[in-house]
Structure 1
Amino acid sequence: MEFEHTASLYTLLSEPIKKHPEAVVSFACIVVVVFIQHIRIKRDPTVVWPIVGMLPSLFRNFEKIHDHATGILQRKNCTFVFKGPWFTRLNFLLTCDPANVNYVLNTNFANYPKGDDFIQLFDVLGNGIFNADHEPWKMQRRLTHGFMGENKFRKFVIESSRNKTKTAIIPMLRGAMEDNTVVDLQDIFLRFTFDLTSTLVMGVDPCCLSPGLPIVPFAKAIDDCMEAIFIRHVVPMAFWKFMRRMEIGPEAKIMSACKVIDEFIEKNVLNKKETKDIDNLSCDMLTSCMRSAEDCKYSKTFLRDMALNLMLAGRDTTASGLSWFFYLLTQNPDVEGKIMEELRANPKVYDLKDDIEPHHLNSLVYIQACLCESLRLYPPVPFEHKSAVQEDTLPSSHKVKPDSKIMISVYSMARMEGVWGNDCQEYKPERWINPVTGKIRYEPSYKFMSFNSGPRTCLGKDIAFTQMKIAVANILSRFHVEAVENQVVIPKPSILLHMKNGFMVRVKKREDEIF
């Protein structure tokens, strides 16, 4: 019986093979090709597949996209061309070569604006300073530089940072210490910088660091937008535009988030415009902007876009920098000892009873070196976008056609031995200190790109360092932070380099407490 069943199965399978042998051969060839391509893509992720290009490799490595790009750039001498699917605009040149970066961001800056594709990808930001090019960008930069350069505003930054540290961060960490509870330090820093940035930009403290850590819809909306925008980078434009039209997937999340963002910002913009709350005592950016305009000539949309762009820049750079700094500190205990020596020599910076001036913070050279090193290894914005206007040739000899896209991997640059030496993967703050002068060593911005480079260099760099130094000095002078064991700390696949699973820590009383 079993023999008869096997024979009938053989007959059933052999008949189609006899009638259509060419189909069997074709199927076998497809299987062999797919198998060979599978082996090749494991060995070389830059394999270009028919029709879909390099997209399979991108999808396969999506969760570790930054390290995936780094591995490719290490093999390809810091520059390679990504080929997307046929008939899409997903092709781009990826580089972390400092010579190329300097050329694109400085030497031939005029030929490499953000471009239309960037504006479409980041449409959430409107016509703010991140999206703007040419004259609109220059106007917003002059305006922002004007009020950031005022002494009154700089003092406001120091006062608000110290006040938020004193009234929110220290009590919260002390409570975690006394209760012996685990806390997500990244979440605390995101809330800390959100409160601070909202205060500096709009003069409003949303109190994210209140007891119980309330959910703040605006902060969550920004995170949702950034994650969804990252997905836009790895799928064809026609695909995500179709999802937007159908209001499905990540695009539905963006639409919901935008409503929350607009409501939060417009509420504060309208309050200031309607009440004309632009007295000379207010130091926030929005008030300064409105004060500089006769009869508040700036439109509601302009102020909305400007406020959102400044909020995004202020919150995430500092929060990301602090989160990765403390993570690296827990992995390098010898560094913490050197920081404590510097703090003992500068007690004024963590004594919250006394006023301090910028020069007091400037004395924290080793802490700044530690922050620079964490920002080097984990830049808040891991990629930079540009689009070519005219045909060009980069220093690496790669040809660039008009309207072609260039992606600069800031994350990968930190991991290139040819750029930062054989110890580039190590956390080594000493690389930032001049052994002769004892001061911070200068590194060109096209090599250390955490604050961008060239004419678009971040205007808030000094503000970020001020906030981070105040937080670090006041936390470490009172507490010792220990990472929870066996947690996986990796970058999130997003436009902003946050930790995917947060950073869980325990807070201990410092045995050698200096305050």
Structure 2
Amino acid sequence: MMMAICSTAVAFIFIIVLSLGCYMILKLRCRSSDDKVVPRNWPLVGMMPALLKNAHRVHEFATDVLKHSGGTFEFKGPAAFANLSMLATSDPANIHHVLSKNFSNYPKGPEFRKIFDILGDGIFNVDSQLWELHRKTTLSFLNHAQFYTLLQTNVWHKVEKGLLPVLDWFAEEGAEFDLQDVFQRFTFDAISKLVLHHDPESLCLGLPYVPCEKAFNHAVDALLYRHIFPESFWKLQNWLGIGKEKKLIQAYRAFDEFIYSALKRLEERMMMITPNIDNNSDDHHLSLFTAYVQAYKQQEQPQAALLTTTTTTKFPRDTFLSLMFAGRDTTSSTLTWFFYLLAQNPLVQANARDEIENKLNLKQEIKRFFKLEECHKLVYLHAALCETLRLFPPLAIQHKVSTAMDVLPSGHLVKPNTRIILLFYSSGRMDSIWGEDCMEFKPERWISGNGRIKHEPSYKFPAFNAGPRTCLGKEMSFVQMKMIAAIILHHYEFQVVDSHSVSPSDSIIIQAKHGLKVKFTKRSM
């Protein structure tokens, strides 16, 4: 088997070399190659030369191609690797069709689980009964009467003990720092505390290195490349422990060490509270770990029969890792781009700050932590966050594989086992969807005539996915983001040090590639 993988990898390396050769020839023949947006389908290598040329700006490249192709484009991979061909789309009708109307024809499937094997049998990787179980038990936790009280307590604890001391120190020192790193640490600590009852305190003075916290960045960086290269190629890299797969292996180990240790502490805590799993105390009931234990004990079918790639002992690890991915990366990414866009749009920043101070009565108060009910008053701030999510959705792409023949609303034929790539990043940048001003940062587009948030269908605004798999933590994300954004805008003035260096990362999560370097100063109250 190893010989087969090696020979396939050698063939792919040959394709890459040939693709680079085609690219160099193309560059010599046509100096103004940027004028030709739609990639050429070369013999043997397909459209790989254009992809290699634009690997450093893959999301912008995909957006440019879709703009010139009516929102849907068939990418042809090398002839020797049929699975690298794919149908890419940002068309709202197609997104609605795939994620909702014909949902059953586009499951996650085995190919998706191979690419995202690091998530095992977590909610993002599975279909059918196991996905239903994840969804049911997670919803029961999010809908608990005390959940948002717990969330509010956790957020303010992290603000008071972590965020404000760190930002105060940077402001007093007049030092430049990476705001994205601060947000990632905040959300990592917060989601760990929420689902694992453990605060790793990565956000504190000194900004200590916590392997698990940094492992998320390494993981999302590598996972995009698994979409582009053949399975045999990245599996060989994984076996050799080289390239981006090396970082993924290291991330895997860091996740295991962190989560298994936390789970052991949770189990010990459960035994100390009571040996009875049906205990109804708040502490016991609010444990997400307990919710999953209860759910699986109640299953008529044995838990092991539902699992696809993991054992029952590994299942809790997969469960909580998936929730931590959702809780850390989506919120931190949105907040990073939110503050970047505010720095570029001073009027929007001023409007958001005025709303915060007037509607929350903060003008005369140096420090006050407001309740989550007050967040609902912040309509303009909510609109600005929606506008950020339109331009920089945390999840850049969604990957699907068809099970049967189908025809998309755009008229494109879908054969069985066709790779469908839904490009959410491109969706928010299409003038055919959002108008000629689609590249402008305008929170006003989200506010209706009655002063409320305007609803946009999820297939037009897929930042939280769409259809049955719509993100369960959407409301939780908005609450957390508004709390953090409001407290920062009330306490500090800020400026981006070098806006020209800020660009989207080439990963499945739209992070700032080189971080967001800023300077903070305390506001005089």
TM-score exceeds 0.5: yes
Q: Letter of the aligned partner of 1:154 in structure 2?
A: Y
Q: Letter of the aligned partner of 1:93 in structure 2?
A: L
Please list, as runs of the form range in 1=range in 2, the aligned pairs for 1:381-396 lying within 5 A after superposition: 381-396=395-410
SS at match of 2:199: coil
Match of residue 489, structure 1, among 482, 490, 502: 502
Matched, 1:55 2:48: yes
Matched, 1:433 2:447: yes
Name the CA distance, whole Å, in 2 between partners of 1:31 and 1:379: 34
How many angstroms does 1:272 deviate by?
A: 2.1
How many angstroms does 1:114 deviate by?
A: 1.4
On the 8 A contact 1:127/1:302 being kept in 2, the answer is yes
- In the other structure, the counterpart of 2:16 is none
CA 1:41 to 1:236, structure 2 compared with 1: closer, same or farther past 3 Å?
A: farther
On the 8 A contact 1:480/1:509 being kept in 2, the answer is yes
Q: Letter of the aligned partner of 1:392 in structure 2?
A: D
Name the CA distance, whole Å, in 2 between partners of 1:352 and 1:138: 46
How many angstroms does 1:380 deviate by?
A: 0.3
Query: CA offsets, 1:350-373, max 9 Å, x none?
Result: 979777544311111000000000
- In the other structure, the counterpart of 2:64 is 71
- In the other structure, the counterpart of 1:286 is 289
How many angstroms does 1:36 deviate by?
A: 8.3
Name the CA distance, whole Å, in 1 between partners of 2:408 and 2:25: 36
Please list, as runs of the form range in 1=range in 2, the aligned pairs for 1:114-125 lying within 5 A after superposition: 114-125=108-119
Name the CA distance, whole Å, in 2 between partners of 1:229 and 1:256: 13
Name the CA distance, whole Å, in 2 between partners of 1:349 and 1:441: 27
Name the CA distance, whole Å, in 2 between partners of 1:372 and 1:33: 42
After TM superposition, the structure 1 stretch with the greater mean CA deviation from structure 2, 279-288 or 154-163, is: 279-288
How many angstroms does 1:200 deviate by?
A: 0.8
Q: Letter of the aligned partner of 1:369 in structure 2?
A: A
Please list, as runs of the form range in 1=range in 2, the aligned pairs for 1:16-415 lying within 5 A after superposition: 34-35=25-26, 39=30, 42=34, 43-88=36-81, 89-277=83-271, 279=273, 280-282=281-283, 283-290=286-293, 294=297, 299-347=312-360, 356-415=370-429
Name the CA distance, whole Å, in 1 between partners of 2:402 and 2:298: 39
On the 8 A contact 1:272/1:278 being kept in 2, the answer is no
Match of residue 513, structure 2, among 480, 500, 503: 500
How many angstroms does 1:134 deviate by?
A: 1.3
Name the CA distance, whole Å, in 1 between partners of 2:523 and 2:24: 61
SS at match of 1:80: strand
Q: Letter of the aligned partner of 2:168 in structure 1?
A: R
Q: Percent identity?
A: 40
Name the CA distance, whole Å, in 2 between partners of 1:201 and 1:327: 29
How many angstroms does 1:348 deviate by?
A: 6.0
Name the CA distance, whole Å, in 2 between partners of 1:190 and 1:129: 22
Please list, as runs of the form range in 1=range in 2, the aligned pairs for 1:415-430 lying within 5 A after superposition: 415-430=429-444
After TM superposition, the structure 1 stretch with the greater mean CA deviation from structure 2, 116-125 or 276-285, is: 276-285
CA 1:165 to 1:33, structure 2 compared with 1: closer, same or farther past 3 Å?
A: closer
SS at match of 1:58: helix
- In the other structure, the counterpart of 2:278 is none
CA RMSD in angstroms comes to 2.3
On the 8 A contact 2:23/2:53 being kept in 1, the answer is no
After TM superposition, the structure 1 stretch with the greater mean CA deviation from structure 2, 218-227 or 200-209, is: 218-227
SS at match of 1:426: coil
On the 8 A contact 1:270/1:300 being kept in 2, the answer is no
On the 8 A contact 1:484/1:504 being kept in 2, the answer is yes
On the 8 A contact 2:196/2:266 being kept in 1, the answer is no
How many angstroms does 1:486 deviate by?
A: 5.5
Query: CA offsets, 1:8-60, max 9 Å, x none?
Result: xxxxxxxxxxxxxxxxxxxxxx9999458953964244201111111111111
After TM superposition, the structure 1 stretch with the greater mean CA deviation from structure 2, 290-299 or 327-336, is: 290-299
On the 8 A contact 1:91/1:405 being kept in 2, the answer is yes
Q: Letter of the aligned partner of 1:388 in structure 2?
A: S
How many angstroms does 1:222 deviate by?
A: 2.0
CA 1:294 to 1:34, structure 2 compared with 1: closer, same or farther past 3 Å?
A: closer
Name the CA distance, whole Å, in 2 between partners of 1:294 and 1:355: 40
How many angstroms does 1:287 deviate by?
A: 3.8
Query: Aligned residues, how many?
Result: 482
Q: TM-score, normalised by structure 2?
A: 0.87
Query: CA offsets, 1:129-182, max 9 Å, x none?
Result: 000011111111111111111121111111111121122111211111111111
- In the other structure, the counterpart of 1:14 is none
Name the CA distance, whole Å, in 2 between partners of 1:255 and 1:38: 42
Q: TM-score, normalised by structure 1?
A: 0.89
- In the other structure, the counterpart of 1:460 is 473
SS at match of 1:197: helix
Query: CA offsets, 1:307-349, max 9 Å, x none?
Result: 0000000001100010000000000000111112211222268
SS at match of 1:257: helix
Name the CA distance, whole Å, in 1 between partners of 2:409 and 2:468: 20
Name the CA distance, whole Å, in 2 between partners of 1:31 and 1:449: 36
SS at match of 1:276: helix
Name the CA distance, whole Å, in 1 between partners of 2:86 and 2:22: 30
How many angstroms does 1:276 deviate by?
A: 2.6
Query: CA offsets, 1:270-307, max 9 Å, x none?
Result: 22234535853433422433355559997331111000
Query: CA offsets, 1:410-465, max 9 Å, x none?
Result: 11111111100110000000000002x10000000111111000000000001111
SS at match of 2:314: helix
After TM superposition, the structure 1 stretch with the greater mean CA deviation from structure 2, 149-158 or 71-80, is: 149-158
SS at match of 1:481: strand
How many angstroms does 1:234 deviate by?
A: 1.6
Q: Letter of the aligned partner of 1:52 in structure 2?
A: V
Name the CA distance, whole Å, in 1 between partners of 2:489 and 2:70: 40
Name the CA distance, whole Å, in 2 between partners of 1:267 and 1:415: 43
SS at match of 1:431: helix
5+ long unaligned stretches in structure 1: 1-29
SS at match of 2:519: strand
